[in-house]
Amino acid sequence: MVSDGRREQNIRLIIEMEDRIAQCKRCKSLLSCIRKPSMGKGDLEPDIILIFENESQTAQDPEKLLELRELIKSEFNTSKIYHTFMVRCQPKACAIRSNTSCYLENNKLIDRDYKCLLSGKSCEGIPVKPADDNIIRCLPFLLEELEILDPRTVILFGDRVSDFVLKTYGIFEEFNTGDAFYDSTGRLFITVSSQEEFNIEEYHKLRDNILIAENPD
């Protein structure tokens, strides 16, 4: 059983890491059109961590995220679930910004009410997938989060998340959705499709993999 001291330590370390994420400027081009980076949420002594590529998928469908968490909670008999993101700053495609003077590059172009300073209207940027270099710059935060929270099981949503995270942990094997892998410490990683494509059959495969991992004999 994990002590209260451990929980307090996790809270302190996560807050300290989130402060650094909030100050991070490694991907200058992504910062103009976001108010704040996406942070992980959930139990701070989790059994299971769900990793999504970036927040756009979940923010667009918070009900599905809730449904997914409830499904995993009830079937695996744990309420200790946490979810987080491989890239914290949501990239956006925007015609207004791309037609703007380069003098405005790297400046905040969105106000506290999410209004665009160039158009005076609500931000019309279209969320797009992060580039590989954004993923590589942001991965250290994810690894730090996993080390702090130390879950038994990590569920990787989508091929890009699976590919980057598995390789980061030294796992270079080919994978399909629903596959299970272990790192050198015995932590279980399960690859699933992206949150939008995740379905009940895949979910059963995921559950079987977790049960096999917990009862190897």
3-state DSSP of the chain: CCCHHHHHHHHHHHHHHHHHHHHCCCCHHHHCCCCCCCCCEECCCCCEEEEECCHHHHHHCHHHHHHHHHHHHHHCCCCCEEEEECCCCCCEECHHHHCCCHHHCCCCCECCCCEECCCCCECCCEECCCCHHHHHHHHHHHHHHHHHHCCCEEEEECHHHHHHHHHHCCCCCCCCCCCEEECCCCCEEEEECCCCCCCHHHHHHHHHHHHHHHCCC
**Residue 37 CB, nearest approach to ligand SF4 (Å):** 5
- Residue carrying structure tokens 């009862």: 215
Q: Is 26 in the site for ligand SF4 (CB under 6 A)?
A: yes
**Residue 131 CB, nearest approach to ligand SF4 (Å):** 10
Query: What is the C-alpha to C-alpha distance for residues 179 and 165, in angstroms, rounded to an integer?
Result: 14
Q: Which of 17, 33, 49, 138 binds ligand SF4 (CB under 6 A)?
A: 138
**Residue 201 CB, nearest approach to ligand SF4 (Å):** 33
Q: Is 24 in the site for ligand SF4 (CB under 6 A)?
A: yes
Q: By C-beta, is 68 or 135 nearer to ligand SF4? A: 135
Q: Is 87 in the site for ligand SF4 (CB under 6 A)?
A: yes
Query: What is the C-alpha to C-alpha distance for residues 192 and 1, in angstroms, rounded to an integer?
Result: 29
Contact at 8 Å (CB) between 54 and 130? Answer: yes
**Residue 22 CB, nearest approach to ligand SF4 (Å):** 8
Q: Which of 21, 65, 149, 155 binds ligand SF4 (CB under 6 A)?
A: 21
Q: Which of 134, 162, 195, 209 binds ligand SF4 (CB under 6 A)?
A: 134
Q: By C-beta, is 20 or 167 nearer to ligand SF4? A: 20
Encoding tokens for residue 209?
Answer: 């993999």
Give the binding range for ligand SF4 (CB under 6 A) out of 86-94, 143-151, 173-181, 185-193: 86-94
Give the binding range for ligand SF4 (CB under 6 A) out of 26-34, 72-80, 97-105, 162-170: 26-34
Q: By C-beta, is 21 or 72 nearer to ligand SF4? A: 21
Q: Is 88 in the site for ligand SF4 (CB under 6 A)?
A: yes
**Residue 86 CB, nearest approach to ligand SF4 (Å):** 9
Residues that bind ligand SF4 (CB under 6 A): 21, 24-27, 30, 37, 87-89, 134, 137-138
